[in-house]
Amino acid sequence: MILKPTSRNISKAAQEIRSGNVVSFPTETVYGLGADAANEEAVKKIFHIKKRPSYNPLIVHLPDPSHIGRYADISDKMTKRRLMELSSFWPGPLSVVLKLKGGISKAATGGLNTVAIRIPSHPIALALLEECRCPVAAPSANIFSYVSPTTAEHVYESFGSQVGIILDGGDAEIGLESTVLSLVTDPPKILRPGYITAEQICEKLGLEIQLPSETEPKRPESPGMLKKHYAPHTPIVLKTSLPPAASVSNAGYIAFRADPKLDLQQFRTVSLLSPTGELEEVASKLYKALREQDSMGLDFIVVDTCEESDLGTAIMDRLRRAAK
Ligand code: TXA
Ligand code: MG
């Protein structure tokens, strides 16, 4: 059921989580599907509902960076220093992978000796996490490998009544999943590009960091990095790979910016994400447009591309995976 995020409903949702059930809540990036990260059975429910492979670990959400040391071993000097340097990104869309200390179920970490931790900035998420008084494992609230949800309705469309409470926070502001940064390696490594960019992280840490590998390891370092991911059912074609003679009369087009040179009439449907091509606007509207066009019975969806720097890195990362 989709519920207004009143304090009464937030308390109800926290009670559900404490009782070992799964609820969906908004974050600034995408909607999450949360359960008590310390409770093995509760976390298993997330995997079951999402149809997610069990080796794929979940991000643990906390209300405050001061809680990190309860679950992660941050005793060494270098990790402490790096966390300090990154602290201005919290609360916010940066998840960090750290050495696991304890207090998190094996199901949530996928049996790894590391744990990904995130302190979201969305006020509803923070209020919920405060009230839960437990670490909350929360992947994006979509069926495994489908497009992440940016509205409460998206969550309902995927799970219906399988998820008892969906707290409605309206449209997600950022619209792309958090950046995942491993602090276990030296230098640190971005496992999943996101809203917080490599450039911003390098500046804070004062060093060059490793970027995601192009080739996919057998067991991915970060399973969100699986090649086919974030994908609608309709084939995605990047605009740069569209053959000039392709018939697009039953195709959709997701435009990042207004382009007076292009004849939009030839497409069956067009979603213009940002008249001026602002990447923040593109990111925030992209998943909604993909889901909308995916429900239209199109032959394929043509999507614009952008330069792969700053936020463009994360946008193109998701699009390439959707287009595989
Ligand atoms: O923005 C977000 O991060 C959203 C919202 C709900 O907070 N959550 C999210 O979770 O995107 P999920 O489960 O869809 O993605 C988690 C990513 C995956 O790529 C996973 O492989 C990686 O984090 N991850 C989790 N634990 C890890 C670990 N110990 N080592 C490496 N990667 C890890
Ligand atoms: Mg996901």
Alpha helices, H only, 56-184: 68-71, 77-86, 106-109, 123-132, 152-159
Strands 136-137 and 165-167, how do they pair? unpaired
On the question of pLDDT at 212 being above 90, the answer is no
Angle between the N-to-C axes of helices 279-294 and 311-323, in degrees from 0 to 180, rounded to the nearest 10: 20
Ligand having the closest approach to the CA of 116: 1
Q: How far is the CA of 258 from the centre of ligand 1 (A)?
A: 33
The Cα–Cα gap between 185 and 98 comes to 9
Q: CB within 5 A of ion ligand 2: which residues?
A: 140
Q: Closest by alpha carbon to 122, among 32, 250, 22?
A: 32
Q: What is the pLDDT of residues 170-202, one digit of tens each?
A: 999 999 999 999 999 999 999 999 999 999 999
Which two tokens mark 236? 């995605």
The Cα–Cα gap between 255 and 304 comes to 5
Asked whether the CA dihedral 184, 189, 194, 197 is positive or negative, the reply is: positive
Q: How far is the CA of 85 from the centre of ligand 1 (A)?
A: 21
Q: How far is the CA of 94 from the centre of ligand 2 (A)?
A: 14
pLDDT of residue 217: 52
Which residues, 6+ apart, have CB-to-CB distance to 292 below 8 Å?
271
Ligand 1, atom nearest to 59 Cα: 25
Pocket test for ligand 1, best of 61, 89, 124, 177 (most atoms within 8 A of CB): 177
Q: Which amino acids bring their CB within 6 angstroms of ligand 1?
A: 27, 29-30, 32, 56-59, 93, 95, 97, 109, 112, 114-116, 118, 120, 138-140, 177-178, 180, 191-192, 221-224
Q: How far is CA 229 from each of CA 59, 67, 128, 129, 321, rounded to the nearest angstrom?
A: 17, 31, 28, 28, 5
Ligand having the closest approach to the CA of 182: 1
Which two tokens mark 287? 């998943």
Share of the chain above pLDDT 90, in %: 89
Which two tokens mark 162? 């399988």
Q: State the greatest distance between any 2 C-alpha atoms of the chain, in Å, as a whole number.
A: 60
The average confidence (pLDDT) of the chain is 95
Q: How far is the CA of 243 from the centre of ligand 2 (A)?
A: 31
Protein residue whose Cα sits closest to atom 17 of ligand 1: 224
Ligand 1, atom nearest to 138 Cα: 6
Q: What is the pLDDT of residues 92-109, one digit of tens each?
A: 999 999 999 999 999 999
Q: How far is the CA of 242 from the centre of ligand 1 (A)?
A: 32
Protein residue whose Cα sits closest to atom 31 of ligand 1: 222
Mean pLDDT over residues 297-312, rounded? 96
Q: How far is the CA of 196 from the centre of ligand 2 (A)?
A: 17
On the question of pLDDT at 227 being above 90, the answer is no
Query: In which band, very low, low, confident or very high, does the pLDDT at 80 lie, cut at 50, 70 and 90?
Result: very high
Ligand 1, atom nearest to 221 Cα: 31
Query: Buried b / exposed e across 205-236, counting CB within 10 Å, b at 16+?
Result: beeebeebeeeeeeebbbbbbbeebbbbebeb
Q: What is the pLDDT of residues 276-286, one digit of tens each?
A: 999 999 999 99
Q: How far is the CA of 298 from the centre of ligand 1 (A)?
A: 31
